[in-house]
Chain A
Amino acid sequence: MHKILKKVQLCPIVYLMEVEAPLIARKNKPGQFVVLRVYEKGERIPLTIVNSDEKRGSITLIFQVAGKTTKLLSKLNEGDYIMNIVGPLGKPTEIEHYGTVVLIGGGVGAAEIYPEAKAFKAAGNYVIGIVGARTASLLILENELKQVCNEFYIATDDGSKGHHGFVSDVLKQLIDKGVKIDLVYAVGPTIMMKVISNLTKPYGIKTLVSLNPIMLDATGMCGVCRVKVGGEIKFACVDGPEFDGHLVDFDLLIARQRTYLDEEKKILEIYEEMEKS
């Protein structure tokens, strides 16, 4: 059981939760994730660890309300408990001195680049942050990222803030301006990571993406998270979740992510019906 120490609603659909998890806090490194189960009959879902505080024995998770599990999670309050949290899982990001690192976060991915930004900055990199959202009201961690990044850009689909368009447009502008980029690190919707990887490939810019396939045990036991990287099958939970974006078969990942769309919709409907009555 993991006590919720802090809960903040970052935007209408995104929440931050600081939860008690002393063992995980001790071990966590940027790029790693946990798997949690909200209650006895719940499913196991992976969430990136956004921050950890060894002294407080806590980790911070940020999630977007999408299905039943995240909805249930969003209903919990400070002082409530999450039944199971296991981690830290996955391989940590290899934080090195690259030079100029562009971190790109789409949607809730903005939360996931925050620990990366801190770590890359601490390793002496010049850090450029680009975050994207559908609209300005859905932007998260803007101030936090601004503080840690040397340069910071925003893109919104509707143009309500920053660049009117996609994060990939902003990256393209940087490349066109002749900014020498040594590493691009992208996390967000799979289609965004695909577009970014396709964009950087002809320029030979090393690009890491943090994949988010369906997971179950997330310890290498079930293989549901298998992804094709450079023609080889890898398990994102133990071999990743970060991979070379130029080698990832994104279309396959998108197809596999859609496996349970019908069931996800159905379980959410059942839950919402129950809530009403």
Chain B
Amino acid sequence: MEDKILKSSIERFKRTPMPKQPPEVRIRNFNEVALGFTPEQAMNEAKRCLQCPEPKCIGGCPVEINIPLFIKQIAEGNFDAAIKTIRETNNLPAITGRVCPQEVQCEGVCVLAKRNAPLAIGALERFAADYELSKGGPKVAEVAKKTGKKVAVVGSGPAGLTVAGDLAKLGHEVTIFEALHAPGGVLAYGIPEFRLPKSILNTEVNYVKQLGAEIKLDVVIGRTLTIEELFEMGFNAVFIGTGAGSPKFLNIPGEELNGVYSANEFLTRCNLMKAYKFGEYDTPIKVGENVTVVGAGNTAMDSARTALRLGAANVTIVYRRTEAEMPARAEEIENAKEEGVKLQLLTNPIKLIGENGWVKRMECIKMQLGEADESGRRRPVPIPNSNFYFDSDQVIIAIGRYPNPIIAQTTKGLKVTKDGLIIADEKGRTSRKGIWAGGDIVTGEATVISAMGAGKKAAKDMHEYLMKL
């Protein structure tokens, strides 16, 4: 008897690993890396949940999914109920199950984490969402009676899709305006197929459409139409979810050389324009022999792994801090390392050196960690006279993005910070009545789920506002 209890408690500490394509196979294709749990794996993993009386995981989730409940439902094999529970607060579970940084959210506060490994909440969320997809996709929720109120949503990324879905469900007439020719924002142009298949994105976008939201593509708000004009056209409220779309560069000599890409350009060519199928698709992309990616966030990992798949011989991440400070999701860092991406840590590029207009080498300086900065992370400090060079015929800069300034420049009375972020309170209200904002355009670069969380809160407040009109 004791043995059995002991065995079950040991089982409890063992996290079910995510089945994945083997590294040597997956670096030759763009298919999804993580394959997802089988029903049996999902149920076994779900049974590890302690069903804490005061669960911490819910608070760790930016959209407060009732995690213990959906886990219990999976453990019981009631997958339909599980996805229903998730969908109560999360419109895009197949996406968040794949791209959330669970280790700093729900899984980061999971009690099991202290003993060994946290419950695989993200993988289970994804399992439930994929189960639903395999059964023909989400059942369209009942839509409330038409309110006759019109809402414009600017941007079709995670924040915009959430607001649109929630407000359409409440009976408002919602139009999403998207600048690009495909919906999804960063989910379409930024996150690669091997991490978030476009088919998954399309299902979630279609769900929002089925709720009644209309998506107008190829409309740049601030250019094609201004926010003022949206009000003139009869929209009663506007949500701005335009994200952080303008790439940062290093501002070092040589950055203008051919072969130097912003991560946004590199990933947009590959993801949105399908340049990895060049020949069938018309948009070209270059790939070097020795590719260097500067930065260590998810975008950097995505760029590095994309370069490998395009056929780069060597891909190196250059980062000025250590692995412990790398901001990417733990799983993506692990995946990148498995695939052969090298890490050149405590290193900062100071010059790009070209030949005939093309980048060939990089001059770097070694760094060491000094005092903690405002972010709490130890500040990297250059070590004098530690300069060194290495060959790099392609450099991808993935050090972050600024907010796109077009809307702030063209909307009177909309207050922004000195960095160009739109100022909004926790309900998403901006300085202009009738205009809400949320996601990266308010917070600066953050996560898909926090943008969705902001969208949820804004939608709730917008609904109250609209019903009083």
A44 to B284, CA, bound (A): 11
In the complex, residue of chain B having the shortest beta-carbon distance to the beta carbon of A259: B258
Whether the pair B269, A87 counts as a contact (CB closer than 8 A) is no
Q: Which of B177-209 contact A (CB under 8 A)?
A: 179-181, 189
Mask: chain B, 226-262; 1 = CB below 8 Å from A; 0 = not = 0000000000000000000111010100011010011
In the complex, residue of chain B having the shortest beta-carbon distance to the beta carbon of A227: B256
A199 to B: closest C-beta gap in Å = 25
A251 to B: closest C-beta gap in Å = 9
In the complex, residue of chain A having the shortest beta-carbon distance to the beta carbon of B277: A41
Q: Does more than half of chain A's interface fall in helix, strand or loop, or is it mixed?
A: mixed
Mask: chain A, 12-26; 1 = CB below 8 Å from B; 0 = not = 000000000001100
Q: Which of A230-277 contact B (CB under 8 A)?
A: 233, 238, 252, 255-256, 258-260, 263-264, 266-267, 270
A87 CB contacts on chain B under 8 angstroms: 220, 223-224
In the complex, residue of chain B having the shortest beta-carbon distance to the beta carbon of A85: B218
Task: Number of A interface residues at 8 Å Cβ cutoff, please give it.
Answer: 40
Whether the pair A41, B282 counts as a contact (CB closer than 8 A) is yes
B264 CB contacts on chain A under 8 angstroms: 221-223
**Given A256-B256, A263-B278, A88:B224 Cβ within 8 A:** yes
Counting CB contacts under 8 A, is B457 at the interface?
no
In the complex, residue of chain B having the shortest beta-carbon distance to the beta carbon of A41: B281
**Contacting residue for B278 out of A216, A255, A267, CB 8 A:** A267
A217 to B264, CA, bound (A): 10
Whether the pair A23, B273 counts as a contact (CB closer than 8 A) is no
A52 to B: closest C-beta gap in Å = 13
Whether the pair B218, A220 counts as a contact (CB closer than 8 A) is no
Counting CB contacts under 8 A, is B225 at the interface?
yes
The 18 listed contacts between A and B (C-beta, < 8 Å) are A41-B281, A43-B273, A87-B223, A88-B224, A216-B265, A216-B268, A217-B180, A217-B189, A219-B245, A220-B406, A224-B265, A228-B256, A233-B256, A258-B357, A259-B258, A260-B284, A264-B284, A267-B279
Q: Residues of A with Cβ closer than 8 Å to B?
A: 23-24, 27, 37, 41-44, 68-69, 83-89, 216-217, 219-224, 226, 228, 233, 238, 252, 255-256, 258-260, 263-264, 266-267, 270
Given contacts A24-B224, A44-B273, A233-B256, 10 further A-B contacts (CB under 8 A): A43-B281, A69-B282, A86-B181, A216-B273, A219-B220, A219-B406, A221-B264, A222-B264, A223-B264, A223-B265
